[in-house]
Amino acid sequence: MHQQKSKQILIYFFLLLLFGSISNTNLQNTQFLNLNKILVSGLDEKANKEIINKINNLKFKNIFFLNKNQIKSILEINNLIENYKISKIYPSTLDIKINKTKSLAKINQNGKILFIGSNGKLSDKISTNQELPFIFGKPKIQEFLNLKKIIDESKFSYKEIKNFYFFPSKRWDIELKSKIVVKLPMKNLKGSLDHAYKFLTNKNLKNNLTLDARIEDQIIIND
């Protein structure tokens, strides 16, 4: 914040040297500082252009007085964006660098397959070659993100998960790519995951099994 204020003071000083005595009204009308170039990067070419077109109504306004909140409101409704950085490059360029959200899983909502992003938003536009797990049931997005965080903290690899099953009781089952299903409890998910992982690595198990980890420190095998 201190650096930004210092930068603004230097710019004002430069303008005063350049134009002599100047008022805010004159500064707003100064073509030297009119925005004439918008750069957007981070998404694919089509998505970048869509954002430029939405921001384009700000073009040719004085760059010094641009309201970043107006730009943020455009960016934050885009479900593909994880985070972003807005920079003014004086005298006339706006540069927006975007980090695209990562697709974590697929889910069917009202007959349509959507992607859940790491930003907690749904989108049908996240392109990916990655094989993603599918979620059966109707969890809230945050419920899934909470489970994903616990899995990442456990000994399980998220990449080994093929499907998630969410029940009205808010309990989860996970199906591995080896076709082994792990039934999880309502609480102590990390402990149950770690216990199931240890059991899997210590046993020579065949596929198409169900491991019931709902009882603490116990694994029940069902064919």
Dist. CA 41–CA 162, nearest whole Å: 33
Report, in angstroms and rounded to the nearest whole number, the Rg of the chain calculated over CA atoms: 26
Name the amino acid, one letter, at 158: Y
pLDDT at site 45: 94
Instruction: Indicate if 12 and 35 belong to the same structural domain.
Output: yes
Both 30 and 91 in one domain: the answer is yes
Residue 192 to residue 212: CA distance in whole angstroms: 10
Q: Which of 36, 66, 100 is the last residue of a domain?
A: 100
Q: Which residues contact 140 (CB under 8 A, 6 or more apart)?
A: none
Phi, psi of 97 (to 5 degrees): -105, 125
Do 63 and 109 sit in the same domain of this protein? no
User: Do 217 and 120 belong together in one domain?
Assistant: yes
Q: Which residues contact 149 (CB under 8 A, 6 or more apart)?
A: none
82 and 121 in a single domain? The answer is: no
Identify whether residues 27 and 40 lie together within a single domain. yes
Dist. CA 86–CA 94, nearest whole Å: 7
Residues in the chain: 223
Q: What is the pLDDT of residues 40-71, one digit of tens each?
A: 999 999 999 999 999 987 776 788 788 888 89
pLDDT confidence of residue 156: 95
Residue 196 has pLDDT above 90, yes or no: yes
CATH of the domain at 71: 3.10.20
3-state DSSP assignment of residue 91 = coil
SS3 48: helix
Q: In this structure, are 54 and 108 located in the same domain?
A: no
Most confident of 5-9, 199-203, 210-214: 210-214
Distance CA 182, CA 76 (A): 37
pLDDT band at 22 (very low <50, low <70, confident <90, very high): very low
Mean pLDDT score, 151-157: 96
Domain range for 215 is: 103-222
Give yes or no: residues 205 and 129 share one domain.
yes
Query: How many structural domains comprise the chain?
Result: 2
pLDDT at 82: 96
- Does residue 20 carry a pLDDT above 50? no
Query: Where does the pLDDT of residue 27 fall: very low under 50, low under 70, confident under 90, or very high at 90 and above?
Result: very low
The reported pLDDT for the residue numbered 65 is 81
- pLDDT reported for residue 177: 93
What CATH number is attached to the domain comprising 148?
3.40.50.11690
Does 213 share its domain with 123? yes
Final residue of a domain: which of 100, 123, 150?
100
- Are 218 and 183 in the same domain? yes
Domain shared by 107 and 206, yes or no: yes
What pLDDT is recorded for position 201?
85
Closest CA relative to residue 78, chosen from 111, 29, 126:
126
Q: Check residues 29 and 211 and name the one with the higher pLDDT.
A: 211
Claim to verify: residue 92 and residue 138 sit in the same structural domain: no
pLDDT tens track for 117-130: 999 999 987 656 67
Specify whether the CB–CB gap between 88 and 71 falls below 8 A: no
